[in-house]
C-alpha cells in the first residue's frame, strides 16, 4: 500500500468496532481486565500494545502507535508527552557511567542541553561530531548509541545516514535519529539503517499547532530499553493528544506535498533578493547537502534557514517587525508560517565576526506562496535600505 492510502486506513480497528470512521477517544486512568490471566499477562509486561494501566496508554494511544509503526515500516512505536521527552528517553535509556554516546553537532538545541546538563554530569561521555567526521574512528568499546539529526536544526547540514549506520553497526552500536523534519512521508529512516527514529509529532505529524507529542519507532528489540525507561519514568502521552495527532496524521501526505511546493517556491524567490546572502535548504540544487538529500529523502519539508546580509539590531528588528503573515515564534510544522531568529546552539560559544550574516529560520505554512513572498518583500526591502546593512557587491 502507498503511504497516502496507509495514512487513511491504518489503525482503525476500534473505529470499525464502534461503527465509526474515526477512532474513539478513550480516557481512563484505570484499566480493568476480563480475567486474572489477562491481568497477569499485562502486569508482567507481556502485552505492551494493549491495556495495562492508564499511564502506558488506552486503545486511542495504541491506534496511534500502530499507525505510526506501519507508516515507518517497522514493528512498534512509543508515544511520549513531547518530542523532547522522546529524545531524552532514547538518550537516557542508553546513558550511564562509563558509557559513551556520539551525537551529531547540529542537533536541536534542547537535545544538546540535555546531554550537557543531565547526561555528562551523571557520568555519560557525550561526544559531538561534525558532518565531515569519520564516525568509525570515533566509536569506542563503550559507545552505546550514535544519535543524529538530519538535516541539522537551523544550520541544515545533512548527515550521511547510511555511512553512519554502516560504521556503527559494524561495531554493534545502534543509531537513533531525530527524523522530525522529514517525517516518514519523506524520510524512510529504518530502510536507511536507523534503529530508533524519533519524531516531534508536535510539528508536521499533528500539523495543527495545538499540542505537543513525541513518537519513537523501531523494532521491538531496538525499543526494548527505551520502553522500559518510559515505563519507569512515566513518559507516556495522554489519550487526548494521541487522538488529535491521529486526526492530523490522516492528512499528513497532502500537507507535506503543499509545504514542499510552497517552501521551494519561496526559497527560490528568496535567492534573488539582494538582502539574502544564502538560502540553506537541501532541496535547492545550490545547497551543499543537496546530493545527500536526494539520495536519502523523497521530499523536503517546510522549514529552512536564510542568511541575511550583516546588519545592525535596528535593521534586523525592522525586518522581523515588518512581517505580518510570518508570525514570530519558535515552532514549525503547523499550518501557519513562522519566522524566528536562528542562533544555532552549537555555534553559540564561537565569537562571531561583526560582518557575520544574520540567520533566520522560516517555516513555510499552507498559505499561498505568493502572499508569503508579498509579506517578505517589504520586510527585506526595509532591511536592505537601512543604512546599517552591508550588502554584498
Ligand atoms: C528537530 C526537533 N526535534 C524535537 C523537537 C522537540 O519537540 P517538542 O517541542 O514536541 O518537545 C523540536 C522542537 O522544536 C525540534 O525542532
pLDDT, one tens digit for every residue, the chain (393 residues): 999 999 999 999 899 999 999 999 999 999 999 999 999 998 887 777 888 999 999 999 999 999 999 999 999 999 999 999 999 999 999 999 999 999 999 999 999 999 999 999 999 999 999 999 999 999 999 999 999 999 999 999 999 999 999 999 999 999 999 999 999 999 999 999 999 999 999 999 999 999 999 999 999 999 999 999 999 999 999 999 999 999 999 999 999 999 999 999 999 999 999 999 999 999 999 999 999 999 999 999 989 999 999 999 999 999 999 999 999 999 999 999 999 998 877 777 676 777 888 999 999 999 999 999 999 999 999 999 988 888 877
Same fold, 3-249 and 253-384: no
pLDDT at position 355 is 80
Which numbered atom of ligand 1 lies nearest the CA of 202? 10
Q: Which three cell numbers stand for residue 382?
A: 526595509
212 lines ligand 1 (CB under 6 A): yes
Query: Which of 52, 66, 203, 255 is labelled catalytic?
Result: 203
Q: How far apart are CA 356 and CA 359, in angstroms?
A: 9
User: What gap in Å lies between CA 169 and CA 193, rounded to an integer?
Assistant: 9
Fold of 253-384: 3.90.1150
117 is catalytic: no
How far, in Å, CA of 182 to CA of 178, rounded? 9
CATH fold of 3-249, please? 3.40.640
Characterize the bridge pairing of strands 175-178 and 143-149: parallel
Q: What's the pLDDT score for residue 289?
A: 97
Question: 175: helix, coil or strand?
Answer: strand
Q: Which three cell numbers stand for residue 365?
A: 505554512
Helices 369-384 and 252-271 pack at an angle, to 10 degrees, of 30
- The active-site residue out of 66, 160, 178, 188 is 178
Closest C-alpha residue for ligand 1 atom 7: 83
Map out the domains of the chain as residue ranges: 3-249, 253-384
pLDDT of residue 287: 96
Asked if 203 is an active-site residue, the reply is: yes
State whether the beta carbon of 153 lies less than 6 angstroms from ligand 1.
yes
What pLDDT, on a 0 to 100 scale, did the predictor assign at position 48? 75
Ligand 1 pocket test target in 113, 151, 177, 180 with most atoms within 8 Å of CB:
180
Pairing mode, if any, of strands 143-149 and 100-104?
parallel
Residue 200 CB less than 6 A away from ligand 1 = yes
Q: How far apart are CA 334 and CA 206, in angstroms?
A: 8
* 55 catalytic per annotation: yes
Cell of 208: 495543527
* Predicted local distance difference test score (pLDDT) of residue 9: 94
Question: If you search the block for the grid coordinates 513518559, which residue do you land on?
Answer: 235
Peptide bond connecting 151 to the previous residue in cis, omega within 30 degrees of 0? yes
Distance 200 CA to ligand 1 centre (A): 5
Looking at residue 222, its pLDDT comes to 98
At 133 the pLDDT is 96
CA triple 78-82-83, angle to 5 deg: 80
- 238-250 in b/e form (b: 16+ CB < 10 A) is bbebbbbbbbbbb
Amino acid at each position: 500500500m502507498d503511504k497516502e492510502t496507509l495514512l487513511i486506513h491504518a489503525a482503525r480497528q476500534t473505529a470499525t468496532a464502534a461503527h465509526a470512521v474515526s477512532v474513539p477517544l478513550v480516557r481512563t486512568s484505570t484499566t480493568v481486565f476480563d480475567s486474572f490471566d489477562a491481568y497477569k499477562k499485562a502486569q508482567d509486561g507481556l502485552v505492551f500494545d494493549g491495556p495495562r494501566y492508564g499511564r502506558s496508554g488506552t486503545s486511542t494511544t495504541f491506534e496511534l502507535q500502530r499507525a505510526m509503526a506501519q507508516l515507518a515500516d517497522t514493528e512498534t512505536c512509543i508515544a511520549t508527552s513531547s518530542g523532547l521527552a522522546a529524545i531524552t528517553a532514547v538518550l537516557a535509556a542508553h546513558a550511564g557511567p562509563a558509557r559513551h554516546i556520539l551525537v551529531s553537532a547540529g542537533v536541536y538545541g534542547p537535545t544538546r542541553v540535555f546531554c550537557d546538563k543531565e547526561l555528562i554530569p551523571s557520568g555519560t561521555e557525550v561526544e559531538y561530531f561534525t558532518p565531515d567526521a569519520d564516525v568509525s574512528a570515533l566509536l569506542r568499546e563503550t559507545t552505546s548509541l550514535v544519535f543524529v539529526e538530519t538535516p541539522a536544526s537551523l544550520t541544515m547540514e545533512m548527515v550521511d545516514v547510511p555511512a553512519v549506520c554502516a560504521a556503527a553497526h559494524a561495531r554493534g552500536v545502534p543509531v537513533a535519529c531525530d527524523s522530525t523534519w522529514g517525517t516518514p512521508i519523506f524520510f524512510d529512516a529504518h530502510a536507511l539503517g536507523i534503529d530508533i527514529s524519533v519524531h516531534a509529532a508536535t510539528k508536521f505529524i499533528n500539523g495543527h499547532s495545538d499540542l505537543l507529542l513525541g513518537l519513537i519507532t523501531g523494532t521491538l528489540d531496538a525499543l526494548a530499553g527505551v520502553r522500559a525507561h518510559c515505563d519507569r519514568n512515566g513518559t507516556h502521552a495522554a489519550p487526548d493528544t494521541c487522538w488529535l495527532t491521529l486526526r492530523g496524521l490522516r492528512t499528513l501526505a497532502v500537507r507535506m506535498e503543499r509545504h514542499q511546493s510552497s517552501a521551494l517556491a519561496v526559497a527560490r524567490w528568496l535567492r534573488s533578493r539582494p538582502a539574502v546572502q544564502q538560502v540553506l535548504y537541501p532541496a535547492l540544487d545550490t545547497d551543499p547537502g543537496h546530493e545527500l538529500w536526494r539520495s536519502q529523502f523523497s521530499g523536503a519539508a517546510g522549514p529552512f534557514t536564510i542568511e541575511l546580509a550583516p546588519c545592525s539590531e535596528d535593521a534586523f528588528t525592522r525586518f522581523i517587525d515588518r512581517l505580518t503573515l510570518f508570525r514570530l515564534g519558535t515552532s514549525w510544522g503547523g499550518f501557519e508560517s513562522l519566522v524566528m531568529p536562528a542562533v544555532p546552539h552549537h555555534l553559540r560559544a564561537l565569537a562571531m565576526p561583526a560582518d557575520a550574516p544574520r540567520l533566520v529560520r522560516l517555516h513555510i505554512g499552507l498559505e499561498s506562496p505568493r502572499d508569503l513572498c508579498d509579506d517578505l518583500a517589504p520586510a527585506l526591502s526595509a532591511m536592505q535600505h537601512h543604512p546599517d546593512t552591508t550588502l554584498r557587491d
